[in-house]
Amino acid sequence: MLNPQQLAAVEHCDTPLLVLAGAGSGKTSVITQKIAYLIQRRRLAPSRIAAITFTNKAAKEMRERVAKLISSEDAAALTVCTFHALGLKFLQIEHARAGLRKGFSVLDADDSEVILKELAPKGAKPDVLFGIRSLISRAKNAGLSPEEATAAARSPREMDAAMIYTLYQARLAAFNAVDFDDLIRLPLRILESDEECRAAWRERLRYLLVDEYQDTNDAQYRLLKALAGERGGFTCVGDDDQSIYAWRGANPENIDQLSKDWPSLRVIKLEQNYRCGRRILRAANKLIANNPHLHEKKLWSEHPEGAQIRVLECKDNEHEAERVAAIAVTLAEKHKARWHEMAILYRGNFQARPLEKALRLARVPYHLTGALSFLDRAEVKDLLCYLRLLTNPSDDAAFLRVVNVPKREIGATTLEKLGQIAQTRNASLLDAARSDGVLRQLSPRPAAALAGFTTLMDELRSASLHASAADLVETVLKRTGYASEIAASTTDAALRERRLGNLRELADWFRAMQRNDSTTGDLAAQLALLSHADRDEPGNALRMMTLHAAKGLEFRFVFIVGCEEGTLPHDGAMDEGRVDEERRLMYVGITRAKEMLTLSWSSKTKRYGEVHSNQPSRFLHELPQDDLHWQGKDPEADKEVVRETAESHMAKIKAMLAGGG
């Protein structure tokens, strides 16, 4: 059942619409119901609707929810994907306009880093490389070409980055490859400059729905504008109070820009919260009221008040971690809570270590979001690079990764020389390695190994023309000797089996993703778009993650640790005048909690071997104090907590003695 505001948002289709959806206000229901309404009531063909999300996980959830409302045929025709996946789809259709050949590669962050390292001055330190990478990414997210970035440079540092950007794009062109940022930049450039293409895509996508709109950057906004046109067939759903990604280019002013570019824009507010207890919501409202607002909104809930918000003052990080672990154990035993219903949130990943230790000691199963994911494992990346190279022989980044995997006695000196020759001939590394004239310039043994490798790739390429991606994984494993290499590389049977199991799982992923017209290259490109968060399958384990990673999630019990000045709000953000964004980050953390919220801070912190004294975060003082229980300041309430914890520990000891632990 939709409430009146949700229903109004679903049925409004004739002019552009902005839905300001507060935390937990049912925005996904609005988007999915609207898709069904457009198809069933407005008779719009599903192939002409695109719903755009910010993570593949959100896209998957939306696809599943919409599939329950419409026919399976209509669901299959819909486009539900991220901005980057939409950009990929566009480039796969319009590759020629972008100066790309069919079967181009999508380089991941590691591939890009390798190239930038080669192009940067010799011996450049990691922080310098990071700075270059950030400036190039920022230029791309602003939709700037290398030439425009050079013209816009205002400092020697920006000029250096723009020069490397020029070389970097030339290298990508030689590889017939794009990086993540290009998936938005290139479609944007084509749509803004090519009237014919723009008209065709406006006809192709008649209605757009954009989720988490407050997280759009300038390039994404321009992409929306180019696709929607003056007609403005779109619904943007967002919350200015949850805008927490300005540091990576998101522009919260895009919310205000809509009414300037489309004066007929209607704004509907969703203010009923279906997630949080009233006390938690009251705290969130009071906190965020300290930020300036163009669109005022006041969230309300019909849920019960809920328990007081607990504030823990701890001696140091270790003490904080122990107390949080003890409360988690108590919740599991007293409230019969399952581990996956709890989450510990923090400002930065560096805060996770003492928490991991305390949870392990307390025997609490946990899952660390952002840890090494399946698709980041060496053997999986190796196989994906083999598939990339088979699909796109110009993909030099993939060539360099697999040419000596398994070992073929092809060293760095040989590859450097091959690279120089390839460059002078304007050829890819694989093409250069096929040339007898090139091989004669190399030492006999590596030349013979390279010749063997190119023959192998030609054979695999022939096999790939008639095989599915999943079957191709099996073929590559056998023909390259990779599976045998793994088997011989370790005496640890469990590790060996785990690595081989990862490769079998990759084949299973391809099987699950396979569509009639999907090529191996298409599937490899789709996998490249998956972020860490999209890959997480934690099972029944307590979740640990940054506040940024928590957006869009909800839990019965939430702990926010490190609520002290300098950590939350973060020193760096305060120096840059971004306290409002840090407050929004705290707001996001608070509104993840459904039933119980615990906030903690440490009076002392060890940083770089020095002990620092801390003050509680200003955000704790901005919360309604009547709704907080500061432990140590209310003896009666403290007694109850101590009794509850003691009972929980006794129960655990009894269970262990009885053989249950």
Active site positions, annotated? 27-28, 211-212, 242, 592
Residues in the chain: 661
Grouping H, G, I as helix, E, B as strand and the rest as coil, residue 545 is: strand
CA 312 to chain centre: 31
Question: In whole angstroms, what is the distance from residue 61 CA to residue 81 CA?
Answer: 11
DSSP tally for the chain: helices H, then strands E: 31, 19
Torsion, Cα of 181, 187, 193, 194 (10° steps)? 170
Selection from 107, 104, 108 nearest residue 91 by Cα? 104
Grouping H, G, I as helix, E, B as strand and the rest as coil, residue 540 is: coil
The per-residue b/e assignment along 117-152, b for 16 or more CB within 10 angstroms, e otherwise, is eebbeeebeeeebebbbebbbbbbbbbbbbeebbee
CA 122 to chain centre: 31
Position of tokens 């081989």?
500
Q: Where are the beta strands (DSSP E) in 118-204?
A: 177-178
Enter the tokens of residue 248: 């990576």
CB 399 within 8 A of CB 429: yes
Helix residue ranges per DSSP H, 15-98:
27-40, 56-67, 72-77, 83-93
> Which amino acid makes up residue 439?
L
CA distances from 170 to 70, 164, 429, 438 (A): 46, 10, 15, 23
Question: In whole angstroms, what is the distance from residue 81 CA to residue 85 CA?
Answer: 6
Torsion, Cα of 642, 643, 648, 652 (10° steps)? 100
Sign of the dihedral through C-alpha 328, 333, 335, 337: positive
CB 316 within 8 A of CB 349: no
Helix residue ranges per DSSP H, 68-125:
72-77, 83-93, 109-119
CA distances from 116 to 113, 130, 400, 418 (A): 5, 10, 15, 19
CB 616 within 8 A of CB 563: yes
CA 561 to chain centre: 22
* Helices 156-175, 126-141: crossing angle, 10 deg rounding: 80
For residue 292, with 0-12 CB atoms within 10 Å meaning exposed, 13-18 middle and 19 or more buried, which class applies?
A: exposed
CB 211 within 8 A of CB 27: yes
Q: What is the largest CA-CA distance in the chain?
A: 87
Q: How many angstroms separate the first and last alpha carbons of the chain?
A: 45
